Structure formats: structure tokens, C-alpha cells
Structure 1
Amino acid sequence: VQRGHDRLSVFGIVEGEELALLRPVARALQARGSLVPTEHGGLALGGDARAILKGEAKVEIVLPPKRERRRKRDRSDANPVGDALFDALRTLRRELAEEAGVPPYVVFHDSTLREMAALRPSSLAALGEVGGVGARKLDAYGEAFLNVIRQH
């Protein structure tokens, strides 16, 4: 708004479901070098971006699946105390929380760790389906938690 962006003809045209697709599309374009970070935290065109915009290069992106709403489950059947994977996930969570200077529940709640241990996801996409794992936490902690799951 300060630089007059609100007066552009394209300002605010992306809404609803399309808005939710922007982040995965931007990540995919960054991964292939079509968008590059600037020194001020923005993004600039790079690599084959101009060819993509002109329709000369093709972009195929696998979009993340829509998350289904989950029903609350009885916690008593999920990962009894003493489960080795659950304990390892809690240990990793504690270490990451100490590094960040935050309480462990800020990294992930126990219920999220229980679900991870029960489902044993093997990919970032599968881990993203676990309740309590949003895009930001998936980016920040996903690989570390997947490594612990793979070791058990």
C-alpha cells in the first residue's frame, strides 16, 4: 500500500483456495531456480522465469493434498508410556525447544508426537497430514522428526 501496490489492476485478485496454493507454487519455483531470494527478503525472477511467463517453458507442480478434518480420538490407545519411538520424538522435541529457547509444546504438542509415532509417516507430505503439523513447522522440523521415525 505504501508503494501504491493497492492501485495495481492485479491487487487482491487471488482469494480463497487459490491463495492457499501460492506458497507451494512459490516453493516449487524457488526449488527450480525460477524465483530467487533478494537481499531484502523478497523474490526476484531467476533462471527460466521469463520463459515460463511467456509460455515457452512448462512448469509441473505436485500440489499438497487437501487436509481432511480429523475426529478427536481417545488418547489412551495411542502410544502407551514407554514407547521407544514416542520417547525419541519427545527427546528431539526437547532438544529443538532448548536450542530455540521455547517450551517444548511450542515445537509440537504431545498429541502430535503420539500421532507421529502411531502413523510413522515416511515423507514430508505424510508428516504434513499429522494433526498439529502445519507448513511452517513442517519446514522447520520435518526432516529432523522424519529421521527419528526412520531410525525406529
Structure 2
Amino acid sequence: MNEFPAWVLLLALFIILILTITAGVYLWKLKKLRLQQHNEIERQHEATQAQRGRVNTSIQVIAKAVGSEDITLTEASIRISMLLDSLDVDPAVNTEFSAFYQLREATSHIPFLEAWQKLDKQEKRRLTKERVAAEARHQEAVLKAAKEIIGRNF
């Protein structure tokens, strides 16, 4: 029976020790990386929730202003519908508050901001008349939707 020399056994033990230490270092690095990933996911989740909170607050502010002279029904409908879209709400919510989307669609051809400023007075009057008529057609539904959306969180 051939016996291994002692140095071979020592070398084998040394290699096993080195491999065990290496595996331990990699496991420690992996645990640290997973912890960093978990913390980053938590930070992203918190940031997303904070953004949703700000959007929900904006929806509430706009909805409470509907019916006042602070904002037109068209502007409120555009803003609320776009904010709801940014939250990627359930399609049932879009259906429930379809009045905002309907008025937005009815007035979507009317330019705003810089494009509005570039229009001549006659064109502005004509488009304002169209907007007011569309608001009159949708007024009851938009006012009702604005009242119903107050206090809701999406």
C-alpha cells in the first residue's frame, strides 16, 4: 500500500483552505451586492410612491378648482386625464372618469401655449367659441366627475 507523502496531504489541505476562503469572499461579495440591490429597489419604490403621491395631490388640487374661475373645464380635463394616464391606472378608472377624456378629445384640435399665441385674434375667437361650446356640452359630466374624483387616491 502506497502512502502519500505528508507534503502532498499538506498541499491538498492548503488548496482546500484557499478554495474555501475564495468561496467565502465571493459569497460575502454576493450578499453585499444583493443587499445593495434590495436597498436600490426600496429607494426606487419609495421614489415611485412619492411621485404617485405628488400626482394624486395634483389631481385633487385640479379637481377642487373645477367649476371655479381658476381653471377652464378643458384645461382641467386635459390635466386630470394626462395625470391619470401617467399613473397607468386601471382601465375601469379611465371609464369611470371618461368625462375628462371626452372633453380632452373634443378640444384636442385647439392649439395651446406658443401655438395659441401665434394665432390671429379672429382664429382665437373662433376656437374659444368652439371650446366654450364643447365645455357646455360636457359641463355636467365633468363637474360630476370632478366631485367624484375628490378624495380618491390612485
TM-score category (smaller protein): under 0.3
Return the TM-score normalized by structure 1.
Answer: 0.22
- Bigger relative CO (Cα 8 Å, ≥ 6 apart): 2
Larger Rg: 2
Scaled by the length of structure 2, the TM-score of the pair is: 0.22
Higher normalized helix content (fraction of residues): 2
